Chains A and B, each alone.
Chain A
């Protein structure tokens, strides 16, 4: 490329300045609407909400003592992590064979992926609610079972931990399948053939070659499922019972219902630190690039 002088600036100078002009609006927005607010709630979590409803500025550890010490919060946090873990394992176990099928299918892979993405585009609240139509007292399953005579009275299947997990699995399954697919699709199929021709059975070939090579995709899908499940707010409200609150519901309670904003800040930060640690761990071992592949 030739530098054009007399234009005020050389092409090289423009090349170094221009990207920053292009980047600055987005960087400014992310800084002002994400990073500064996050720093702000760190400070805010040390303030104190007084009985009069005003915030007392200062350095108080009360909110943190309550958030970390109260068994009520601890139990719900542990339960939230448990629900997220079960959801992730179910998504991985059920999603892996499906992803394998798509990756190895001789048919139209693009069509299979598009079909997988269709429910993904359907509104989250509609998808969550749709389980009421299936499992509710007058839902499809009860109607069917009563029609066949298996049961005489409708069974209460909804509003428990299992239906919360069911709703989450349904919501997160496409994330998992897509990520596993991306890494399975990138594996050279000759490797598996080579293993087979060297005497490995198909199962051995899969266990020794394909599975290890697809682990990055499995991990990326797992991370997304876990983080999204652990931050869920709506699913337990729609499909869970009164005792199935998850951690995000506590945050909403503290902020919107009780208006105890300093405590809500501390609770939010707790969730952020735990889930952020997972993301950092992932980044350390596998790097962000793998995650971006599955998202893009």
Chain B
């Protein structure tokens, strides 16, 4: 009896989590000219209007470039740091971990203000570079956490075998460690990309005038009224943000199966 109640409650929680998202997707196919109920028919018109909206396309381009560069920098830094923390005995390991995780523990608004004012003091104004710096600093801890979790499961003796067979450390890294690490690198990179692509709080502080990312563009559009175009954009974003990690997981699984892991 008790278990039935718990189960029903859990189902309600899942409905609560999914309902709003489902409504966005449903409304994005609404033929009605207002982005609201009742549904008057099925149509792709809002997706077509979306594809012709210059501002949104520009925002998409900005978000993808920013997310890509963020993922590149964060993953590089994160993989190197994770390797050091998992593979070596470093004095003060706990302190170093806490320092590297610190950007998660600082509220994003505070991080945004501190970075904006400090770089402004150094005469680095609001710019794409500031956006990139900001996105790197708050995605780095997530990359480190994800990569560390995967690294633990990679056995060290394969590398030791390569070393003892005469490979130098650089060769060992590129021929043994990196291929084994690839799923972790991809997972970390995708995670960084997704977080960067989704960020709005920090971005609103750092972005120069006229530059919009997808979330800030949606936010600006919300100021007027909620148009069906936003729902269509939401559907595209859902496909992207849900699709990419699922794709990433699939690639990671495929890669680890291929390497016999």
CB distance from A172 to the nearest CB of B (A): 11
With both chains docked as a complex, state the minimum distance between the C-beta of A184 and any C-beta of chain B, in angstroms: 12
Least CB separation from B148: chain A residue: A296
Output the least CB separation between B137 and chain A (Å).
4
Q: Mark B174-206, 1 if CB is under 8 A from A, else 0.
A: 000000000000000000001001101100110
> In residues 69-121 of chain A, which contact B (Cβ within 8 Å)?
94-95, 97-98, 100-102, 115-116, 118-119, 121
Considering the chains assembled together, what is the distance between the CA atoms of A115 and B22 in angstroms?
A: 13
Assuming A41-B117, A133-B226, A138-B34, is B77 touching A29 (CB within 8 A)?
yes
Residues in A whose Cβ lies below 8 Å from that of B9: 94, 97-98, 101
State A252–B107 Cα separation when bound (angstroms): 13
Structural contact, B218 and A126, CB atoms closer than 8 A = yes
CB closest chain-B residue, reference A42? B114
Mostly, the A contact residues are helix
Tell me the smallest distance from the CB of B26 to a CB of chain A, in Å: 9
Could you give 16 example pairs across A and B, Cβ below 8 Å?
A1-B160, A25-B76, A25-B80, A26-B80, A30-B99, A98-B10, A101-B6, A127-B20, A129-B222, A136-B36, A143-B37, A231-B107, A234-B219, A248-B107, A251-B110, A276-B106
B-chain residues with CB within 8 Å of residue A35 when the two chains form the complex: 102
Contact B21 A121 (CB under 8 A): no
Chain B residues in 8 Å Cβ range of A52: none
Q: Is the beta-carbon distance between A102 and B10 smaller than 8 angstroms?
A: yes
Interface bits A25-59 vs B (CB < 8 Å: 1, else 0): 11101100111111011001000000000000000
B20 touches A131 (CB 8 A): yes
> What is the bound-complex CA distance between A20 and B218, given in angstroms?
43
Report the Cα distance A98→B16, complex, angstroms: 12
A256 to B241, CA, bound (A): 29
Interface of B with A (CB < 8 Å)?
Answer: 2, 6-7, 9-10, 13-14, 16-21, 23-24, 27, 34-38, 76-78, 80-81, 83-85, 87-88, 90, 94, 96-111, 113-119, 121, 133-134, 136-137, 140, 142, 144-146, 148-149, 160, 164, 169, 194, 197-198, 200-201, 204-205, 214-215, 218-219, 222, 226, 230-231, 234, 237-238, 241-242, 245
A98 close to B13 (CB less than 8 A): yes
Bound form: Cα–Cα A132–B35 in Å: 10
Of all chain B residues, the one with the shortest Cβ separation from A26 is: B81
Assuming A100-B6, A125-B200, is B110 touching A133 (CB within 8 A)? no
- A123 in contact with B117 (CB, 8 Å): no
From A60-68, A188-196, A264-272, the one touching the partner chain is A264-272
Enumerate chain A residues within 8 angstroms of B87, measured Cβ to Cβ: 19
- B14-A272 in contact (CB<8A): no
Docked complex: A176-212 residues within 8 A CB-CB of B: 177, 202-203
A126-B205 in contact given A33-B133, A33-B137 (Cβ < 8 Å): no
Closest to B241 in A: A121
Shortest distance between the CB of A107 and any CB in chain B (Å):
10
A101 and B100 within 8 A (CB): no
A279 in contact (CB, < 8 A): yes
- A99's closest neighbor in chain B, by CB? B10
Q: Are A252 and B204 in contact (CB under 8 A)?
A: yes
In the complex, A122 Cα to B19 Cα: how many Å? 13
Using Cβ atoms and an 8 Å threshold, which residues of chain B touch A284? none
A37 touches B114 (CB 8 A): yes
**Considering only CB atoms, which chain B residue lies closest to A278 in the complex?**
B105
Q: Give A138 to B39 CA distance when docked, in angstroms.
A: 11
A127 lies within 8 A of B114 (CB): no
Q: Which residues of B contact A122 (CB under 8 A)?
A: 21, 237-238, 241-242
Kindly identify which residue among A98, A127, A248 contacts B109, using a CB–CB cutoff of 8 Å. Answer: A248
